[in-house]
Structure 1
Amino acid sequence: MFIRNESFYTFRRSYPIITALVFIHIALFVWIHLLPGGAWVYATGVGFNLAVSQGEYWRLITPVFLHVSIGHLVFNSFALVIFGPALERMLGKGKFLFVYLLSGFIANVATYYLGGLAYPYHLGASGAIFGLFGIFVYMVIYRKDLIDPANTQLVITIIIIGLVMTFLSSNINVFAHLFGMIGGAALAPIVLAKARPFYAFAVAADDREVRFDPNRWKKRRFTRGIGKKILWVGLGLLIAIGILSRLF
């Protein structure tokens, strides 16, 4: 469910929305920091409550696509690549994009009303990603048919770590994290109404892969074992990057 062992070609075919979102993250980050007009893009798109109060309502959604540092970019994009694919498959492309954007919007609306006009600039996909976490929380509590015990344990661990980092790390938009998760959990009963478990879906095939291998089952067990280790190492790196990106 969370182990990624696809080739880039297969991943792109299987999860086009996540691929597009990560591409947008990277493209806008490069534009802001390296290309002409980047300062304008940042100034126009960053979350700024005072500007929202003056009618610049697009700032309730544009911050979802912007990132301030390479650590911030890698942290959110990696989290999206790890935790997004299962939901894109289970919900479908349209519902997944709807939940992702609406969770980010809810996070920024909460920041506007609870943070006040003096709240500093804010940006990042964290609110939307916590919206995905909110869906997993709902699944763990109310839709156990959609998630197995091993992945349940992983989800609970990651969410606890995410919440601890939210309150202990500096320069984090606490309102966005909390209300992004609440928004995702609130939307979950609607978007999960007809959902099927992740394993019930076929994975897009790469035509260049070998179709038959007599040792495929041994390799699959080996790959899963290695995949789980890589996943935990990756999550450790994700946490480390998140902490460092807040410190520097």
Structure 2
Amino acid sequence: MATHTGGLTATVPETGTAAVRISGLVRAFGERRVLDGLDLSLRAGEFVAMLGRSGSGKSTLLRALAGLDHDAGGEGELSAPDHVSVVFQDARLLPWKRVLANVTLGLSGADAQERARTALAEVGLAGREDAWPVELSGGEQQRVSLARSLVREPQLLLADEPFGALDALTRARMHTLLARLYERHRPAVLLVTHDVDEAIALADRVVVLDGGHIAADLPVDLAAPRRPGTPEYAVLRERLLVRLGVEVPSG
């Protein structure tokens, strides 16, 4: 058991147990509590989407799980795997490195380049290894970011609104890609999003963060493909919108 930055007690889960266990998590910036006694768990291989209004603490939670939370004061317990990868809203590629070098950044082993080429092929970018980031579209840059994360075979993938800056058509294509990659690699995934439809389309379970704690935790028991228009989809969508404080017209 080790002490997490900010006073949080952190542990690594045993093999075969939940990928993430959070108990009584408090995160504060000065006098302001962003997370207030939060409890949450993710099973190994489970895809969970997290919704919440701006400022509700979604990104703060991801930063704590990723070990990037260096300034907040906190308490509680957090259990997360050793191998965690993060995908951000912007691809965060190094502009002075070519695509392949961006994917292999920090990757060790004699087969690092071969693994990176395989990852790029998985995201549909075979043949673009020598391209500069500036030569790629926004969607292609996010594909490189996904390749860089998944080439490390993480046990937990944290995604902080990774498709928020993309146009609707590109976002739909990225949903299909992420779903395919998830089925192939099966990490536990915690996806932060503002998009209720995105959450329903991708996740096994949707949680709503409000007031610093989990206000709703709903399974997505919908048959594939999950398309808007079915009564079951509409009911779940309405329940989530209401939890987010959105007034839904009756009838």
TM-score (norm 2): 0.26
Answer 1 or 2: which has greater helix percent: 1
With normalisation by structure 1, the TM-score equals 0.26
Q: Which has the higher strand share?
A: 2
